[in-house]
Structure 1
Amino acid sequence: MEIHVVCIVILSAIVLSCHAQLTDEMKAHFKQQIAECKNTEDANDDDVTRFLAGDKPTTLKGKCLISCMQEAFGLTKGGQVQREGARKLGQMLFGNNDEVLSVLEIVRAECASLTDPDRCEASYKRMSCAKTVAEKHGLKTPREMI
């Protein structure tokens, strides 16, 4: 099962028919954040590699890496999906593309209620849901964004 790359962070890397282009500055920020989350969550190189490849995490720390990234990019706070954080990240990636932003809202609405007592499991569940909902709407995750 694939995991969204920048969504990594739930909702953020959904694309309609055109691909978002990350600036070098955005890519550097993303890579710096991965390194910080790797350290914070005590994740290993395999967790990061799987995350970047869009592969399902095989460890709890790999799921915690997803949670940390979601928190770092303002997608979640205190275990709750943040509508404004998702919208801001969507705008940063895709500009004011109303079609993409409306799909991001659909994904958020369908996946935000998923919970788990463990923050890492909850983030992973929401990420998996986002992938399913995005595919249902014919959206894909661009691998070349990072």
Structure 2
Amino acid sequence: MSRLFCLCLMLVVCLVAVSESKPQEPNKEHVADMANECKAETGATDEDLELMMKHEPSENKEGKCLRACMMKKFQITEEDGKLNIEHTLGMLKVMAEHAEDKDEVLAEIVDTCAASEVPDDHCESAAAYQMCIFEHMQEHGIPLREEH
């Protein structure tokens, strides 16, 4: 659960940084509650959480829906399931190693993935967006930070 908390906290920090409004600083309990809500809403297992944390694809519906739920709660995707470009770019700037040198490439990755054809199903589209982003990061030689 601590790895999930780190991911959630990182996403919240990112959202605070890119948000025009000034949301309340979330506390550890709030982030953990959101993660537990998503797990309960989707029927996801601890294994599904672990796969999400390792950025490995889920083969089951629950794991994909867990990703969709977390992405919506942290405004990475909109309610319609589409990628929120601004928040996703902010998240990548937090997650990517040496992101300060990669602004243009990260923006290109987000734009490319946002424009990609994804399924209408929000669970499937969340998984597709995540894979698109990580595959493009790999192609550009941009690793994720180790701390998250």
Give the alignment's TM-score, normalised by structure 2: 0.67
Q: Which runs of 5+ in 1 are unaligned?
A: 13-24
- Which residue of structure 1 aligns with residue 55 of structure 2? 54
In our comparison, the structure showing a higher alpha carbon Rg is 2
- Give the alignment of 1:91-110 within 5 angstroms: 98-110=100-112
Using a 3 Å threshold, how does the CA distance of structure 1 residues 102 and 6 change in structure 2: closer, same or farther?
farther
Q: Name the structure 2 match of 1:89.
A: 91
CA RMSD of aligned residues (A): 3.1
Q: Structure 1 or 2: larger helix share?
A: 2
Misfit runs of 4+, over 4 Å: 29-32, 90-94
User: CA 1:134–1:37 in structure 2 vs 1: closer, same or farther (change >3 Å)?
Assistant: same
Count of residue correspondences: 124
TM-score between the two structures when normalised by the length of structure 1: 0.68
Matches within 5 A, 1:21-32: 28=28, 30-32=31-33
**1:114–1:126 contact (8 Å) kept in structure 2:** no
User: Is residue 2:122 matched to residue 1:119?
Assistant: yes
CA distance in 1, matches of 2:42, 2:146: 24
Q: Distance in 1 between matches of 2:51 and 2:130?
A: 14
Q: Which runs of 5+ in 2 are unaligned?
A: 1-5, 15-24
In structure 2, do the counterparts of structure 1 residues 91 and 143 end up closer, same or farther at CA, with 3 Å as the change threshold? Answer: closer
| Corresponding residue number in structure 2 for 1:65 | 66
Identity of aligned residues (%): 25
CA contact (8 A) 2:64 2:124 kept: yes
Aligned residues of 1:34 and 1:48 also touching (Cα < 8 A): no
Q: Which amino acid aligns with 2:122?
A: R
Deviation at 1:27, TM superposition (A): 9.2
- The one of the two structures with greater contact order (alpha-carbon pairs below 8 A, sep at least 6) is 1
